Structure 1
Amino acid sequence: MPWNNQGGGGGGGPWGSPPGGGGNNNPWGRPSGGGQPPGPDLDDLLRKGQERFKRMAPGGFGSGKGVALVVGVLAALWLASGIYRVQPDERGVVLRFGAYERTTEPGLRYHLPAPIERVQIAQVTTERRLDIGYRSQGDSRRPGASDVPDESLMLTGDENIIDIDFTVAWNVKDAPNFLFNIRDPEQTVRKAAESAMREVIGRTEIQPALTEARSEIEQSTRKLLQEMLDDYAAGIEVQRVQLQKVDPPAPVVDAFNDVQRARQERERLRNEAEAYRNGIIPTARGEAEKLIQEASAYREQVVSLAQGDAKRFLSVLEAYNQAPEVTARRMYLETMEEVLGKTNKIILDGKNGAAGALPYLPLNELLSRQSGQPAQPRQ
């Protein structure tokens, strides 16, 4: 379509001639003196591009080759749109016409272009944390945390109220279930964890919950929470449940501390009594055992002596039955030896005038004076 020069000059175009005259002006004010243009000549660029395209498609855009070229370029771009990358901590879930098709591992992957297939990416190895009973401020967990009483106050098995704050660490173990079976994963884990903790605390008395049962509560809650999420087919794996705070409610904490101190004092007195009992009872048992052993030894001694005397008498009786006179004389001699062997004896020789000794002469006293021993009383 030719442009008409409205200003009387030739070749000015619809924008007119630039100041200073001159014809053959384009819309960007190309000067006519053959000087250097201020910018790229877009007319030349468009013209050159059309010429190159015509050389590639001699018939122009309307020809078969031109249409095929355009279609080929568009098809190549469409097919290339199916290339995607899965990071090491991710899994790709491919959907074909909206239905689950497959799960892809990390790396450079391909799926059929939209609208045939599309891919959703899920992070599976990243550990996610939920604060239940409190909300942490920034990166800190307990310092500056705000309490949430609706989540933290729970009823124990002995009908006491306890204030519990805990965290749940979880990650994704099944990407398709995680993406399609639950609408709000974080809220689902929060509600399920709170329900599991309330059930475990409802079976636990307050005193163990505050002291030695913390580890058992964590393990039981994690197991119950995992079972609930598996029933939901949530594709979530619970790594751990960690108690942050287990205290009585704030309005009664002073009274509860008084009760705890009284229980500790009772336990101390009980331990002292147990120690005293453990010291007395073994001593008494030892003394009793000693007496029993001594009595047993005395019994064995008496029985043995009696049995020995009985055997000795039987042996003497048997010898007496075989030789009565010899046995009787032997018994007499042994008896006299036993009797006279324990007495002081003075033998008087009649040849030396002993026959005239007076019977009341204290011979035993004279004998004791000679030997230096005290005299024994006369019999």
Structure 2
Amino acid sequence: METPTPSPSLGPGAQAVRLAFWFVVVIALLAAGVWATSNIRRIPADSRAVVMRFGAFVRTQDAGLLIAWPQPFETVLLIPGSARLLEQRISSLDRDPRARASDPAAATATESSQTLPLPLGDISSWGFQPDASAPGSTAPLLPDALAGSGYVLTGDKGVVQLSATLYYRVVDPYAYVLQKERLEAALQRVV
């Protein structure tokens, strides 16, 4: 009867290589598991999710648990829900900061409010000359369009300074995702 020959034991170098191999395999499996579950998430109550597969619209989902393929297969974008009211201040009606800085009445009102003054830069780059008619005046003489910015003349010859805030809701989630980058400028022009 033949006795089986004992297998040779591995040396320390081979054991280290085997241990490193299994360590790399475990790390790779953990990374694959994290990647596979990366688009499983909870959608908050005041939001919606737009799911796009390779950049093409697939579906929208309201609040709750979202299960989607991992990136780059599907991309999930969170947007405001239909119940959330969004607001945007219309800054095109505001007074130009250069005109506000040269107006002494507005300067005292600005100091008393909590808004921070905007940096004006080099005043010589504006292209204006100081008003020579006012003795001791160093305020720049502003062109009419800049000096009157932010004010509107009414029909009864009254001057009114307007300010507006636009409130809106997202009704079509996919259209909002497509136009989100240009939405602020478009709303400024519309108002």
Give TM-score scaled by structure 2 length. 0.50
- The reply on whether 1:114 has 2:111 as its aligned counterpart is no
Please give the residue correspondences for 1:159-178 in structure 2 after superposition, counting only pairs within 5 Å: 163=160, 165=162, 166-178=164-176
- What's the Cα RMSD here? 3.8
* Amino acid paired to 1:163: V
**Structure 2 unaligned residues grouped into runs of 5+:** 1-14, 96-111, 116-146
Decide whether the 8 Å contact of 1:93 with 1:103 is kept in 2: yes
Taking the aligned partners of 1:187 and 1:149, their CA distance within structure 2 comes to: 23
Please give the residue correspondences for 1:178-257 in structure 2 after superposition, counting only pairs within 5 Å: 178-193=176-191
**Structure 1 unaligned residues grouped into runs of 5+:** 1-49, 52-58, 136-142, 194-379
Taking the aligned partners of 2:180 and 2:41, their CA distance within structure 1 comes to: 25
Bigger Rg over Cα: 1
> Residues 64-113 of structure 1: CA distance to partner in whole angstroms, max 9, x if unpaired?
xx84x555333211112112222111111112112222211112212211
The partner residue of 1:127 within 61, 82, 86 is 86
> Residues 319-338 of structure 1: CA distance to partner in whole angstroms, max 9, x if unpaired?
xxxxxxxxxxxxxxxxxxxx
Indicate how the Cα distance of structure 1 residues 149 and 88 shifts in structure 2: closer, same or farther if over 3 A, else same.
farther
Decide whether the 8 Å contact of 1:90 with 1:106 is kept in 2: yes
Taking the aligned partners of 2:153 and 2:180, their CA distance within structure 1 comes to: 27
Instruction: Tell me the CA shift for residue 116 of structure 1.
Output: 1.0
Taking the aligned partners of 2:43 and 2:34, their CA distance within structure 1 comes to: 21
Indicate how the Cα distance of structure 1 residues 104 and 73 shifts in structure 2: closer, same or farther if over 3 A, else same.
same
Taking the aligned partners of 1:150 and 1:181, their CA distance within structure 2 comes to: 29
Give TM-score scaled by structure 1 length. 0.27
Indicate how the Cα distance of structure 1 residues 149 and 113 shifts in structure 2: closer, same or farther if over 3 A, else same.
farther
Aligned pairs, number: 125
Decide whether the 8 Å contact of 2:54 with 2:74 is kept in 1: yes
Q: Which residue of 2 aligns with 1:73?
A: 30
Taking the aligned partners of 1:129 and 1:145, their CA distance within structure 2 comes to: 19
The structure with the largest helix share of the pair is 1
Please give the residue correspondences for 1:1-379 in structure 2 after superposition, counting only pairs within 5 Å: 60=19, 62=21, 67=25, 69-124=26-81, 125-131=84-90, 133-134=93-94, 144=113, 149-153=148-152, 163=160, 165=162, 166-193=164-191
Taking the aligned partners of 2:114 and 2:154, their CA distance within structure 1 comes to: 23
The structure with the largest strand share of the pair is 2
Instruction: Tell me the CA shift for residue 122 of structure 1.
Output: 1.4
Taking the aligned partners of 1:120 and 1:174, their CA distance within structure 2 comes to: 14
Decide whether the 8 Å contact of 1:134 with 1:145 is kept in 2: no
Indicate how the Cα distance of structure 1 residues 181 and 123 shifts in structure 2: closer, same or farther if over 3 A, else same.
same
> Residues 31-86 of structure 1: CA distance to partner in whole angstroms, max 9, x if unpaired?
xxxxxxxxxxxxxxxxxxx99xxxxxxx65547xx84x555333211112112222
